[in-house]
Amino acid sequence: MAAPNFWDNQEKAQELIGEMQRLNAVIKPVGELVSGSGDIEVLFEFAEMEEEGGASEQELVTTVEDLQKKLAAVELQASMKNPEDAGNAYVTIQAGEGGTDSADFCEMLMRMYLRWFERSSGYKADVIDISEGEEAGLRNVTLHVKGDYAFGYLKGETGNHRLVRISPFDSAGRRHTSFAAVDVIPDFGEVEVIDIDWDKDVREDTYRAGGAGGQHVNKTDSAVRLTYLPSNVVSQCQSERSQHKNRASARKMLQAKLFQIEQEKKSAAAAARRGEKSKIGFGGQTIRHYVLQPQQYVKDDRTELKLNNPFEILDGDIDDLIEAYLRWSIAK
């Protein structure tokens, strides 16, 4: 970074800075643990020389408690050992069975994650593709999440999510069950992790970007949809006015999707989960339940964690759910 020509290539420079930040995110917490253990040894010696309940003993207790929190954070980060865990991520939410309620649930989940990004410093999310529901909500939406360990923290959100509530769209006030699927894939940047014959194996379609209207809606066919013909895997982007930029983003996302599929084929458990997730509704594997009526709770079927604050969770307070999954994955 001290080289005089470091900023000549802005994109490469940003990549190197990002790599440095990811390395520091690993090294700094471990260094703090090592330093803290030395502080504990010194405080323990002082506490032995003082009367019970002295200043050193109180400081020792505070230091140990602080170190325990840092150790817990390092343990969680240690569970994210794959290179892609440290980078950015794509989060796709798709409405499933449940009609308008499922489209509304899709938008509720998008808001939940956006609120979590706001609460968690260092995360930024851009909407790169969105399709609105016929009456309300969203049929699907894709977010590009940028920040250290975005994929590592969010990968456990992949799967079916189930909502039970009194439907605001039912004039009779009946209870409805609706489903939405969340899929999280890593962003590898410009690295080509899968060999693709773009001319032979990929069909490109362009279309006009959708939206609620207004001056920011594209008036040209700048949105790009790519279909990988051997497996019909699709990626699309409409966030930019430039067709070239949308194509580049769609290519990156298609690469990431195909890589994720290959990785999951190597893991029988993950492959089985993905196969069951293809049905977004009754009969598919549900990872989490959001129940608002008659009881009020959120339960994750994998970790068995049950929390009685569904409205706070839907407002972005999902740290306990994310950490529980990471600790469950360590134990597993």
Q: What is the DSSP string of 239-271?
A: SSS-HHHHHHHHHHHHHHHHHHHHHHHT-HHHH
pLDDT at 2 over 60: yes
Q: What is the model's pLDDT at position 55?
A: 82
Q: Are 236 and 228 in contact (CB under 8 A)?
A: no
Higher-pLDDT residue of 250, 207:
250
The single residue listed with the structure tokens 């949809």 is: 225
Q: What does the block give as tokens for 24?
A: 């520091």
pLDDT at 154 over 60: yes
The single residue listed with the structure tokens 């890589």 is: 259
Total residue count of the chain as it appears in this document: 332
Confidence of residue 22 (pLDDT cuts 50, 70, 90): confident
Return the amino acid letter for 161: H
| Contacts of 84 by beta carbon, 8 Å cutoff, 6+ apart | 151, 186, 188
Confidence of residue 14 (pLDDT cuts 50, 70, 90): confident
Question: What is the average per-residue pLDDT within 211-237?
Answer: 71
Residue 270: phi and psi, rounded to 5, are -65, -40
Which secondary structure element, helix H or strand E, spans residue 153, and what is its range? helix 150-154
Q: What is the model's pLDDT at position 221?
A: 65
pTM: 0.75
pLDDT at 27 over 80: yes
Q: What does the block give as tokens for 1?
A: 């970074």
State the sign of the Cα–Cα–Cα–Cα dihedral 56, 60, 61, 65.
Answer: positive
* Least confident range of 22-26, 54-58, 107-111, 153-157: 22-26
Question: What is the average per-residue pLDDT within 208-224?
Answer: 56
pLDDT at 316 over 90: yes
pLDDT at 145 over 90: yes
Confidence of residue 213 (pLDDT cuts 50, 70, 90): very low
Residue range 259-309, pLDDT digits in tens: 888 777 766 554 455 444 444 444 457 999 999 988 999 999 999 999 999
Of 80-89, 213-222, 298-307, highest mean pLDDT = 298-307
Residue range 190-207, pLDDT digits in tens: 667 678 888 899 999 888
| Contacts of 246 by beta carbon, 8 Å cutoff, 6+ apart | 222, 223, 224, 237, 238, 239, 240
